[in-house]
Structure 1
Amino acid sequence: MEPSGGEQEPGAVRLLDLPWEDVLLPHVLSRVSLCQLLRLQRVSRAFRALVQLHLAGLRRFDAAQVGPQIPRAALAWLLRDAERLQELALAPCHEWLSDEDLVPVLARNPQLRSVALAGCGQLSRRTLGALAEGCPRLQRLSLAHCDWVDGLALRGLADRCPALEELDLTACRQIKDEAIVYLAQRRGAGLRSLSLAVNANVGDTAVQELARNCPELEHLDLTGCLRVGSDGVRTLAEHCPALRSLRVRHCHHVAEPSLSRLRKRGVDIDVEPPLHQALVLLQDMAGFAPFVNLQV
């Protein structure tokens, strides 16, 4: 432990005189936000050494704790010694985060289980390759609004991430049915949550293959998937007994009869039944809620 330095009254105990590994790290710095840590490390060399020791043992890093925007230099300093990360969230870095920034971090943290890169549009397949090769325990991955994600990148994940359970591909518009079919066949058995929202390239072929290969699927988001229709939803109802929520808003080819079986099972669906929609519309037009016996 580095000495605290400076003058102090006889018998007085300074913060840095307390045991670092036994007291300060587990009971003090663990309760300090990343933003405050950045300020603390500027106080003195001793505090800087203490903060660096704490950061080296981090299990969870969320850049949002620093603020809505984090400078590249700050991120590099915060993560330069981290080798035990299990969760990594970097959405606030979306405007500038590159492969050169991220790949070395992934290489030093093979224990990663959750990675959130939503909106990080400057990355490429190289990052997913590093994830697939170096993080075999990866369970949760968010790539929402990452336009660079394509079928080839997704195949690499499907081949090398056996523990994958949750995947967010919202607005990854290069992804087509073929890539989702491959994902379902390779990793469907363990997949529990998947978002394919806002992708007009995804249709019933992908949904049906997911249904047949993902018996543990609990959450599926198909919002805005214009090519998805009732056939895909019926297959979900038949083959996905664990399904708890389904998002099909703006899927104009999905009809109520295909959803009714899921409703009877208690699946949370974001589209109201036609009768309920009609009542809401009537209330808006008439200014009151008419009494209707829904049991008739």
Structure 2
Amino acid sequence: RAHDSTGSRHADLHLLDLPWEDVLVPQIFSYLPLRHILSLQRVSKPFQSLVQLYLANCRCFDSTQLGSQLPRSAFCNMLKDNAVLQRLDLRSCSDWLTDKELLPIIGQNHHLLHINLNSCVQLSRQSLVAVSLSCPHLQNICLGHCEWVDCLSLRSLSDHCKGLEALDLTACRQVKDDAICYLVKKSKRLKSLSLAVNANISDVAVEETAKNCRDLEHLDLTGCLRVKNESIRTLAEYCSKLKSLKVKHCHNVTESSLGILRKREVSIDVEPPLQRALVLLQDVVGFAPFINLQI
């Protein structure tokens, strides 16, 4: 209950009396977990309206905050009025998300910078084409384990989203060397790229990536069985900003190429041969022996 300077009482002030768009949404709701905000809808109809206002104006929607039990109908209702999203993470919707639910959201949000569709296996190439056409400022997209991503849809992304800085194509097995070569010639700002778990990727794609993406910092080639030392040497030659490289299970990549990057303190997920041997020995005998190496 508020008082003026003379001590007389004014009418009761409630939370909802504060300005919604200028105070409650940006100064209070933006700091609350999404699941707590949604629970306020059960308090009263005015709170329900306030929550809808928040959802229509939120810049970030992260489905992982709601767990894997987010109903399809609730999801569609939550974002139906939003046209200002910048970040969209739908990993927790992977069990049921299809083009039908995603396309309207993509179509009305032209300011998206970050999209995570990891393991959303029920989508189709139509979704990636829609992202390409609707989100020209896109910087980061995760498409890991989305086997529906093909060369044509990736070309569309390359043509229209030239500001891409991070792209995850882990286990996108339809993607081949030619699509990656096309991509990196268009997306020269790439700093992070994952081509992991793709037997179609060879030295051709890696070398083209190295020559075109000079700002590359992180490259994941885990399980790319056709990648060899030659492309890793090219990577070392052209990508001076490289910070990490993953080549586990790349059986044709050896220390003769990795050693060049180690000298530059690039983080590599495969240990040097001597260190691997010591770890193995320690596992077998239970201790690491002292070794005197004289060269």
Judge same fold: TM > 0.5, yes or no. Answer: yes
Q: CA deviation at 1:96?
A: 0.9
2:50 equivalent to 1:45: no
SS for the counterpart of 2:88 is strand
Partner residue, 2:5: none
CA–CA distance in 1 between the matches of 2:294 and 2:250?
Answer: 28
2:76 maps to a residue whose letter is A
1:161 maps to a residue whose letter is C
SS for the counterpart of 2:42 is coil
Partner residue, 1:253: 252
Summarize deviations over 1:81-116 as a string: whole Å, max 9, x none: 111110000000001111110111111110000000
2:279 equivalent to 1:280: yes
Partner residue, 1:13: 13
SS for the counterpart of 1:66 is helix
CA–CA distance in 2 between the matches of 1:295 and 1:238?
Answer: 31
CA–CA distance in 2 between the matches of 1:11 and 1:273?
Answer: 74
CA–CA distance in 2 between the matches of 1:112 and 1:123?
Answer: 18
Partner residue, 2:124: 124
**Native 8 Å contact 1:35 1:67 kept in 2:** no
Partner residue, 2:195: 196
Partner residue, 2:205: 206
Task: Give RMSD over aligned pairs.
Answer: 1.4
Partner residue, 1:75: 75
> Mean alpha-carbon deviation: is it higher for 28-37 or for 200-209?
28-37
2:113 equivalent to 1:113: yes
Partner residue, 2:159: 159
Change (3 A) 1:22 1:185: closer
**Native 8 Å contact 1:246 1:270 kept in 2:** yes
CA–CA distance in 1 between the matches of 2:294 and 2:130?
Answer: 56
Q: CA deviation at 1:69?
A: 2.7
> Mean alpha-carbon deviation: is it higher for 73-82 or for 34-43?
34-43
Give the TM-score normalised by the residue count of structure 1.
0.94
Partner residue, 2:240: 241
CA–CA distance in 2 between the matches of 1:183 and 1:281?
Answer: 40
CA–CA distance in 1 between the matches of 2:159 and 2:99?
Answer: 21
Partner residue, 2:35: 35
Q: CA deviation at 1:129?
A: 1.1
Change (3 A) 1:34 1:198: same
SS for the counterpart of 2:67 is coil
2:61 equivalent to 1:61: yes
2:100 maps to a residue whose letter is E
Q: CA deviation at 1:59?
A: 0.7
2:94 equivalent to 1:94: yes
**Native 8 Å contact 1:177 1:206 kept in 2:** yes
> Mean alpha-carbon deviation: is it higher for 69-78 or for 242-251?
69-78
CA–CA distance in 2 between the matches of 1:69 and 1:221?
Answer: 31
SS for the counterpart of 2:251 is coil
Change (3 A) 1:294 1:86: farther
Unaligned runs of 5+ in 2: 1-8
Summarize deviations over 1:28-82 as a string: whole Å, max 9, x none: 2112222122211122111111111111111111011111231101111211111
Partner residue, 1:269: 268
Change (3 A) 1:274 1:36: same
CA–CA distance in 1 between the matches of 2:238 and 2:39?
Answer: 53
Give the TM-score normalised by the residue count of structure 2.
0.94
Change (3 A) 1:167 1:77: same
Q: CA deviation at 1:184?
A: 1.5
CA–CA distance in 2 between the matches of 1:282 and 1:113?
Answer: 48
> Mean alpha-carbon deviation: is it higher for 225-234 or for 135-144?
225-234
CA–CA distance in 2 between the matches of 1:275 and 1:12?
Answer: 74
> Mean alpha-carbon deviation: is it higher for 280-289 or for 136-145?
280-289
